[in-house]
């Protein structure tokens, strides 16, 4: 009696060659038999509706007893009718469950071109553990967002996209890659086609505004004088590349604010004119802004001469007011303005959020006054490793400092020179090794004559001397006016990772910190903190970056790091390793984090703006287990079991073969077995779906079948 192997057998492999499976055997053997066992394989490569199956192998087993044959032995006895033998067909399914990996699926913005339409030109690279790259089937579908949802625009079977003539709006590009084992991977790129080009501002170089006398109390006597200047009056021939309608806005020069990139933002949309009064008599500089429908903006500066009327300003011409602004032209708030006369009388005012100040008292005719600004704040505000990089590039003659104000802000020790000593002092301040820079005054201010104090008199034209430009010593790039210890809001972020783990009291941990992706940077800074009741920092060691004691400062609960390389460094793999001693038992992710108390955690990409850092704990893939949904197929409801080593937040996504997402929700996983329910009512129609569960960097994808 012959015991044949299982008819259907699954083997996990990339090839059908040298597949070993259980063969047939005899239930009873005796000395009167001489048994021969052989098999031949038929390979089926073209499969339909296959589920991760690369090949089907029809293995035909044959058993012969040579003691009972009449014909003489020869090797090719199978299929020879002169021999009597037994046959059995075994079906072997060669499977591979891992789909292709897609790289380069990272579109964000497509800018319109000369004819005000967008050109989408992009490509991806794909790899697979089994299928050669040239045999992976790649396709894409481009969708445009409309009032009726996303509608297809174009599609092709290619890893390269070239679509011209896209209108302004939102789109998504869905990539599909299928390997030779019928595993499918999708990647969806959401992007926007927008106008990225600033309009061109062309305005008058100068103009004159004569104030009109006003009788406020209707008593027949002139009390004051006023005048209005409209932005559109200053326009000569401004234009936009695409939009016919543009808005004209206006504000006083030096009263703006910077965005997170350190660039001036336009005035509020209601600021289409400026009011002037008697205290503004003299020369004023205003910015005429041009804003297009996409929000792109640019400006030009107009010199405005404010002329008083014959009467009406006599009692107000001595009012002292001005603007305190940064090197970039943004107003500086919270500056104390002091004015004193020869008789030691002193008055104080303070700048508002636009950098404006005013003394309501009048400078008397013939009197001399001294006017100067002062400001104190936390010495670290606005200072970062980016400033150290800027000084280093200056010293290496890669990018010399642009002007006298930048040079003075780089002179951290106040010796009149910019040197390595200034780099050392600023980095010590960033790391918390010193509390303030050696330069006695953290803020310095200069009038248009580059003097820190203005000597003014009503007998002279003192108005140009009432405005000052301020610099924060050490803040070489001048971003103090948009500085925040809470990061940069909606700016991009980059993740540092480490593997989470449990620890016991007394254990010394070595925790590698590695980058989530490759990025070319020229510097970084961070501040790692632990709860010193549970953990204590004991050391830091560079791995792929060279770190010395000059680059960091640590105590038991805080580790500050400031590092740069002006020639650029590809931040990939493990950067450094931190050594921590456990005081009590616990889980690392509960007690280790990035802090923004003193400095922002950020990196500095080459030729780009600073990017905020995030620290994320990862689980090793073997620690997170996702089971097959049950029942499968299902009609009304199915469940998915997820096993977690520790509590964590995850994401559940369910989508169909086209990449359309039907369910996307956050899940709070507990330690142990978690059960997720999926309702058929949330899906579109019967068919094959993919469910994807992501926890940190660990992602599991599996298939489910819905039947009505």
| 387, HSE (Cβ side, Cα atoms, 13 Å) | 32
Report the distance separating Cα 204 and Cα 288, nearest Å: 9
Report the distance separating Cα 519 and Cα 26, nearest Å: 63
Report the distance separating Cα 674 and Cα 567, nearest Å: 49
pLDDT band at 337 (very low <50, low <70, confident <90, very high): very high
pLDDT band at 46 (very low <50, low <70, confident <90, very high): low
Report the distance separating Cα 83 and Cα 69, nearest Å: 6
The whole-number pLDDT of residue 261 equals: 72
Output the CA–CA distances (angstroms, integers) from residue 102 to 123, 127, 137, 161, 257, in the order listed. 10, 7, 12, 15, 41
Strand-pair partners of 553: 560
**682 phi-psi bin (left φ>0, alpha ψ -120 to 50, beta other):** alpha
The whole-number pLDDT of residue 389 equals: 95
Residue reference for tokens 């850092």: 613
Please calculate the CA angle 141-626-57 and round it to the nearest 5 degrees.
70
Structure tokens at 241: 């590349």
Q: What are phi and psi of 271, to 5 degrees?
A: -85, 75
The whole-number pLDDT of residue 470 equals: 95
Name the strands in the sheet holding 443-446, side by side, starting at the edge strand that comes first in the sequence: 356-362, 319-325, 468-472, 443-446
Quick one: which of 541, 659, 547 has its CA closest to 142? Answer: 659
The number of helix segments (H) and strand segments (E) in the chain equals: 3, 49
pLDDT digits (tens, 9 = 90+) for 223-237: 889 999 999 999 999
The whole-number pLDDT of residue 621 equals: 64
The answer, yes or no, to whether the previous bond of 338 is cis (omega within 30 of 0) is no
pLDDT digits (tens, 9 = 90+) for 110-157: 999 878 999 999 999 998 888 889 999 999 999 999 998 899 999 999
What 3-state class would DSSP assign to 175?
A: strand
What 3-state class would DSSP assign to 477?
A: coil
Contacts of 637 (CB under 8 A, 6+ apart): 677, 678, 679, 680
pLDDT band at 625 (very low <50, low <70, confident <90, very high): confident
pLDDT band at 483 (very low <50, low <70, confident <90, very high): low
Residue 207, pLDDT above cutoff 90: yes
The whole-number pLDDT of residue 447 equals: 94
Report the distance separating Cα 642 and Cα 652, nearest Å: 11
Report the distance separating Cα 546 and Cα 108, nearest Å: 33
Strand-pair partners of 163: 120
Quick one: which of 403, 204, 198 has its CA closest to 301? Answer: 204
Element (H, E) at 213: strand 212-214
Report the distance separating Cα 551 and Cα 528, nearest Å: 14
Report the distance separating Cα 372 and Cα 393, nearest Å: 33
Q: Please answer whether residues 210 and 307 qualify as being in contact, where contact means their C-beta atoms are separated by less than 8 angstroms.
A: yes
Q: What are phi and psi of 344, to 5 degrees?
A: 65, 20
| Total-model pTM | 0.68
Please state which of the four CATH numbers 3.40.50.2030, 3.50.50.60, 2.60.40.730, 1.10.3720.10 is assigned to the domain occupying 101-194: 2.60.40.730
Going from N- to C-terminal start, the domains of the chain cover 2-95, 101-194, 493-618, 622-706
Report the distance separating Cα 202 and Cα 232, nearest Å: 11
User: CATH 1.10.260.40: does it fit domain 622-706?
Assistant: no
Largest CA distance in the chain: 141
Tell me the CATH number for domain 493-618. Answer: 2.60.40.680
CB crowding 330-364: b at 16 or more within 10 Å, else e: bbbbebebebeeeeeeeeebebeebbbbebeeebe
Pairing between β-strand 319-325 and β-strand 468-472 as defined by DSSP bridges: parallel
The answer to whether domain 101-194 and domain 493-618 are alike in fold is yes
Range with the largest mean pLDDT of 205-209, 243-247, 638-642, 667-671: 205-209
Strand-pair partners of 114: none
Structure tokens at 61: 């087993």
Share of the chain above pLDDT 70, in %: 94
């Amino acid at each position: 009696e012959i015991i044949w192997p299982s008819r259907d057998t699954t083997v996990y492999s990339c090839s059908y060659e040298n597949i070993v499976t259980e063969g047939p055997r005899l239930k009873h053997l005796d000395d009167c038999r001489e048994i021969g066992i052989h098999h031949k394989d038929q390979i089926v490569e073209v499969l339909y509706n296959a589920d991760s199956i690369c090949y089907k192998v029809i293995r035909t087993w044959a058993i012969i007893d040579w003691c009972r044959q009449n014909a003489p032995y020869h090797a090719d006895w199978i299929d020879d009718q002169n021999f009597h033998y037994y046959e059995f067909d075994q079906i072997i399914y060669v499977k591979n469950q891992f789909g292709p990996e897609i790289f380069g699926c990272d579109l964000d913005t497509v800018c319109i071109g000369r004819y005000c339409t967008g050109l989408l030109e992009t490509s991806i690279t794909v790899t697979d553990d089994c299928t050669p790259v040239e045999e992976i089937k790649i396709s894409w579908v481009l969708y445009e967002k409309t009032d009726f949802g996303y509608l297809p625009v174009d599609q092709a079977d290619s890893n390269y996209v070239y679509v011209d003539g896209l209108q302004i709006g939102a789109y998504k590009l869905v990539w599909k890659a299928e390997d030779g084992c019928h595993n499918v991977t999708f990647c969806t790129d959401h992007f926007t086609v927008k106008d990225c080009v600033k309009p061109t501002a062309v305005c008058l170089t100068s103009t004159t505004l004569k104030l009109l006398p006003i009788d406020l109390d209707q008593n027949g006597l002139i009390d004051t004088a006023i005048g209005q200047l409209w932005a559109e009056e200053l326009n000569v021939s401004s234009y936009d590349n695409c939009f016919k309608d543009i808005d004209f806005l206006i504000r006083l020069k030096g009263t703006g604010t910077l965005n997170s990139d350190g660039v001036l933002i336009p005035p509020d949309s209601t600021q289409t004119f400026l009011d002037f009064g008697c205290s503004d008599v003299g020369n004023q500089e205003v910015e005429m802004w041009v804003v297009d429908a996409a929000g792109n903006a640019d400006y030009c500066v107009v010199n405005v001469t404010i002329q008083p009327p014959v009467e009406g300003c006599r009692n107000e011409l001595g009012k002292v007011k001005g603007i305190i602004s940064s090197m970039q032209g943004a107003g500086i708030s919270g500056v104390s303005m002091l004015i004193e006369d020869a008789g030691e009388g002193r008055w104080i005012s303070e700048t508002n959020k636009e950098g404006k100040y005013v003394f309501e008292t009048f400078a008397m005719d013939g009197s001399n006054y001294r006017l100067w600004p002062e400001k104190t704040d936390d010495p670290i505000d606005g200072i970062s490793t980016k400033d150290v990089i800027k000084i280093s590039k200056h010293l290496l003659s890669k990018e010399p400092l642009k002007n006298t104000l930048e040079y003075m802000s780089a002179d951290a020790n106040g010796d009149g020179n910019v040197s390595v000593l200034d780099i050392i002092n600023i980095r010590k301040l960033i790391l918390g090794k010193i509390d303030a820079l050696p330069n006695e005054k953290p803020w310095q201010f200069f009038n248009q004559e580059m003097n820190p104090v203005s000597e003014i008199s009503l007998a002279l034209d003192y108005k140009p001397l009432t405005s000052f430009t301020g610099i924060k010593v050490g803040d070489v790039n001048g971003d103090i006016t948009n500085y925040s210890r809470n990061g940069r809001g909606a700016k991009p972020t980059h993740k540092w990772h480490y593997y989470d783990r449990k620890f016991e009291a007394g254990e010394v941990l070595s925790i590698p910190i590695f980058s989530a992706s490759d990025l070319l940077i020229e510097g970084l800074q961070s501040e790692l903190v632990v709860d010193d009741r549970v953990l204590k920092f004991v050391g830091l060691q560079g791995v792929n970056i060279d770190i010395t004691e000059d680059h960091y400062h640590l105590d038991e609960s805080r580790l500050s790091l400031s590092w740069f390389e002006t020639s650029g460094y590809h931040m990939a793999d493990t950067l450094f390793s931190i050594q921590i001693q456990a005081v009590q038992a616990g889980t690392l992710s509960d007690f280790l984090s990035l802090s923004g108390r003193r400095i922002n955690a950020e990196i500095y990409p080459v030729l780009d703006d600073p990017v905020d850092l995030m620290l994320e704990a990862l689980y090793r893939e073997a620690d997170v287990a996702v089971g097959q949904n049950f029942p499968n197929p299902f009609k009304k409801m199915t469940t998915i079991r997820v096993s977690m080593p520790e509590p964590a937040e995850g994401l559940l996504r369910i989508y169909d073969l086209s990449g359309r997402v039907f369910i996307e929700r956050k899940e709070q996983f507990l330690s142990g077995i978690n059960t997720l329910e999926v309702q058929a009512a949330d899906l579109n129609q019967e068919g094959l779906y993919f469910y994807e569960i992501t926890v940190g960097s660990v992602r599991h994808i599996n298939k489910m079948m819905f039947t009505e």
